[in-house]
Amino acid sequence: VTRIICRQLAPILGDLDANIQLTLDAIRDAVECGAQVVVLPELALSGYMFTSTAEARAVAITAQHPVFAQWADAVRESGAVVVGGFAELGDDALIYNSAAVVCSTGTLAVYRKVHLWDKEKLVFTPGSLAPPVVDTSVGRLGVLICFDLEFPEMPRTLALGGAELIVTPTNWPLETVPAGERVPEVTVAMAAAYSNHVAIAACDRVGAERGQDWNGASCIIDEHGWVVATADQHGVATADLDLSLSHDKRLSPLVDLFGDRRPELYGAVTAPRPDRPSPAISKEK
Amino acid sequence: VTRIICRQLAPILGDLDANIQLTLDAIRDAVECGAQVVVLPELALSGYMFTSTAEARAVAITAQHPVFAQWADAVRESGAVVVGGFAELGDDALIYNSAAVVCSTGTLAVYRKVHLWDKEKLVFTPGSLAPPVVDTSVGRLGVLICFDLEFPEMPRTLALGGAELIVTPTNWPLETVPAGERVPEVTVAMAAAYSNHVAIAACDRVGAERGQDWNGASCIIDEHGWVVATADQHGVATADLDLSLSHDKRLSPLVDLFGDRRPELYGAVTAPRPDRPSPAISKEK
C-alpha cells in the first residue's frame, strides 16, 4: 500500500520565504509520518488572493527555483513524492498557476492549470498542455489543479492515461451548503473516482486571505469513490491505499468501465430516431 | 416552473398486461398531482431480471405498441410528458433496453440504452445511436438509461446538446454503502448536475425480482447539484424546478462552465513537460 498525506496549509499571501518554510516543515512532518505521497495546496508557495498579475509576479518563481531542490532534499531518505502548487514565472515571462511533482532526484513534472477559476483569469495565463501522468517510484500520478477536477474530461483523461492516483492541489472557496451535505467539490471528486475507478487525493487550504475563507475539505478517496480520509484538527489527511487496485477497470466479468465506453457516440446528440418515422399513435386500447 | 414526478414502481417480471396497468395508474396519479414530466423506471413494462434474450423477447414490444398511445391518452388533458423504460423488439428483430418519450400527441423519441450493465449484455443488444435531446412542450429533455449516467461523457453530451433536464429511468441494484453515505449512483448524478449545471431526474424501481433488490434511490436534482426530492413512502418523488435555469452556464461574469472547456486538451495526457529539459537539482539552500 501507499501512504498518502495531504497537508492543508495556510500560506501567507505574497510571502515566499515564509511559505517555503511552511511547505518544508509540512513535507518533513509528513515524511516522519510515513508519507510516500505528500500533497500540498494549490499556490502553496504564493497564496491565492492576488488582485493583479503584477502582484502575483512579485512572488512567482521559475520551475528551476531552489525550493524544489529543498523539497527533493526533504524526501531524499524516504523516497516520497511531493505535489504542491506555486505561482510560476514561465520562460515566456507569463505567470501560471502551476503544480510541481518532485521526488528525491528532482522535479519530475510541472503542470500549468488549464481551467482557471473566475478572477484567476485576471491574474494567470491558462496552461496550454494537457495534464501529465507521471511515473514515480510510488505510483503513476495524474495531476490536476482545483477547478480542473470539475471538468469530467480531465480526471477521465488521466485515468485513461494510466493514472493510479489523481493528485489535486486545491483552494476551494468556502460556500454555504445545505445541512448534512458535502461541499460539491468533494461530491464531484467522489464521482470522478467512482466513474474512473481511480483513487483521488485533493489537498485544500485554510487561513483566510483578504476576506476569503476556504472549505478545508481535503479528502483522500479510494478507487470505489468512498472518502477514506479528511483533514484532522491539524489539517492533516492520511490514508493508506493500494494504488494497484486502480488498474483493473473490470467490476465483474461482464463490466469493464473503460472497455464499455462508446467514444464514437460521445459529443453529439441524436435527433429523435432520425432513421425511422415517428410511430403513428394507435387508438386501439 | 415545471413539476417533475418520478414514480418508483415495482414491475412484475414478464407480465406485460400488469405492467401496462401499473404504468397507466402511475401516470394518471402523477398527472392528478400536477406532473408535467412523469418519469418511470427502466424496463417498467417488462421487469429486469431476465436470464436470456428469449425470455426478454417474450415480453418485448415494438415502439408502435398501443401502450404508448395509452400513455399519450393519459397525459392528453395535462400536456405532460412521460419517459419510461421498456424491452423493445426492434425492426431488426433484436431486443433493446429502451426508453420512450411520450407526449399527448404521441411518441417523440425512443432511446436504446448504449451502456449495458453486466448481465444485461447476455440479454439485450446495445443501442447504436447517441442519446436524444427531445424538444417537448415542457422543456428540452435529454434521456439516459441507468448505467449510461455513470459515463460522464453522456450527461455532458446531453447538456452540451441543450438538455434542460436529463431524465434517467434506472434499475439501481441494492448495494451496501458505508453508514451515512448516499448510494454512489446518486453521487454520480449530483456531480453530473453540478458539472453541467443541468437538472437531473432519475427514477429507480422497487420490488424484488429473483432475489435482486433495488436501491429505491430515485432523486430529482437541481442545476446546482443538490438533491431536491427523493421517493416518499409511496415511491413518489416530486419537485418543481425552473428548467430555464439550466440554460446559462455562467456562474459569474468570469466563469462559464461550457465556455471554459478546453476540448482540444481532452483525451490525451501530456508527458511531463516535453518542451523543456527537466530542471537540474540545485544544491543551493
DSSP chain A: -EEEEEE---PPTT-HHHHHHHHHHHHHHHHHTT-SEEE--TTTTT-S--SSHHHHHTT-B-TT-HHHHHHHHHTTTTT-EEEEEEEEE-TTS-EEEEEEEEETTEEEEEEE-SS--GGGGGT-PPP-SPPBEEEETTEEEEE--GGGGGSTHHHHHHHHTT-SEEEEE---B-----TTPPPHHHHHHHHHHHHHT-EEEEE---S-BTTB-B----EEE-TTS-EEEE--TTSEEEEEE-GGGGT--EEETTEETTTT--GGGTT--B-S-TTSPPPPPP---
Q: Which residue's entry shows cell 520551475?
A: A63
Put the strands of the sheet holding B227-230 in their side by side order.
B133-136, B139-143, B165-169, B199-203, B219-221, B227-230
Asked if A69's CB is within 8 angstroms of B225's CB, the reply is: no
| ipTM of this predicted structure | 0.94
Band the pLDDT of B274: cuts 50, 70, 90.
Answer: very low
pLDDT tens per residue across span B115-169: 999 999 999 999 999 999 999 999 999 999 999 999 999 999 999 999 999 999 9
List all residues 6 or more positions away from A10 whose beta carbon is below 8 Å from its beta carbon.
Answer: A22, A205, A206, A207, A235
Please report residues of B whose CB lies closer than 8 A to that of A255.
Answer: 117-118
Please report residues of B whose CB lies closer than 8 A to that of A262.
Answer: 114-115, 126, 151
Instruction: Chain A: give the shortest CA distance to residue B104, in Å.
Output: 10
Instruction: Chain B: give the shortest CA distance to residue A259, in Å.
Output: 10
* Pairing mode of beta strands B165-169, B199-203: parallel
Nearest residue to B74 (alpha-carbon basis) of A82, A281, A18, A125: A281
Question: Of A24-33, B234-243, B273-282, which range is least confident?
Answer: B273-282
Asked if B91's CB is within 8 angstroms of A281's CB, the reply is: no
Chain A interface test: which of B151, B222, B227, B283 (most A C-beta within 10 Å): B151
Distances in Å between the Cα of B63 and the Cα atoms of A148, A273, A282, B97, B100 are 42, 11, 11, 12, 8
Where residue B210 falls (left for φ over 0; alpha for ψ -120 to 50; beta otherwise) is left
Instruction: Chain A: give the shortest CA distance to residue B235, in Å.
Output: 23
Considering the candidates B42, B164, B185, B209, report the single residue annotated as catalytic: B42
Chain B (70-89) residues lying within 8 Å, Cβ to Cβ, of chain A: 70, 72
* CA–CA gap between residue A110 and residue A163 (Å, rounded): 16
List all residues 6 or more positions away from A234 whose beta carbon is below 8 Å from its beta carbon.
Answer: none
Chain A (54-73) residues lying within 8 Å, Cβ to Cβ, of chain B: 63-64, 66, 68-70, 72-73
pLDDT tens per residue across span A223-232: 999 999 999 9
Candidate from B262, B269, B278 with C-beta closest to A107: B278
Instruction: Chain B: give the shortest CA distance to residue A65, in Å.
Output: 8
Q: Does B93 touch chain A (CB under 8 A)?
A: no
Active site residue ranges of A = 42, 113, 146
Chain A (3-22) residues lying within 8 Å, Cβ to Cβ, of chain B: none
CA dihedral B167, B169, B174, B176 (to 10 degrees): -10
pLDDT tens per residue across span A29-63: 999 999 999 999 999 999 999 999 999 999 999 99
pLDDT at B65 over 60: yes
Asked if A281's CB is within 8 angstroms of B105's CB, the reply is: yes
pLDDT tens per residue across span B10-38: 999 999 999 999 999 999 999 999 999 99
Nearest residue to B197 (alpha-carbon basis) of B243, B134, B264: B243
Whether B146 is catalytic is: yes
Mean pLDDT of A208-219: 96
At B204, is the secondary structure helix, strand, or coil? coil
* CA–CA gap between residue B150 and residue B117 (Å, rounded): 11
Q: Does B115 touch chain A (CB under 8 A)?
A: yes
